[in-house]
Amino acid sequence: MKNDDFSADYYRMTGNKLTFWGGIKTYFFSHNIRFMYWWRKRNMSSKNPIVKIMCYRLSKKYGLEIGNCKIGSGLYLGHPYNITVNQNAVIGRNVNLHKGVTIGNINVGKRRGCPVIGDNVWIGINSTVVGGIIIGNDVVIAPNAFVNFDVPDHSVVVGNPGVIHHKENAAFGYIGFTDYARKNDDDT
Radius of gyration of the chain (CA): 16
More reliable by pLDDT, 138 or 44? 138
pLDDT at 155: 97
Average pLDDT over residues 126-150: 97
Q: Amino acid letter at 44?
A: M
pLDDT at 171: 92
**Confidence bin at 4 (pLDDT 50/70/90):** confident
pLDDT at 1: 41
CA-CA-CA-CA torsion sign (173, 177, 178, 183): positive
pLDDT at 114 over 80: yes
Average pLDDT over residues 74-103: 95
Residue 57 CB: number of other CB atoms within 10 A? 12
Q: Which of 72, 81, 88, 85 is nearest to 12 (CA)?
A: 72
Of 92-106, 136-150, 173-187, where does mean pLDDT reach its minimum?
Answer: 173-187
Q: Which of 22, 26, 43 is nearest to 34 (CA)?
A: 26
pLDDT at 122: 97
pTM, entire model: 0.89
pLDDT at 170 over 60: yes
Average pLDDT over residues 14-33: 88
Pair 126, 81: CB distance under 8 Å: no
Average pLDDT over residues 55-70: 92
pLDDT at 90: 97
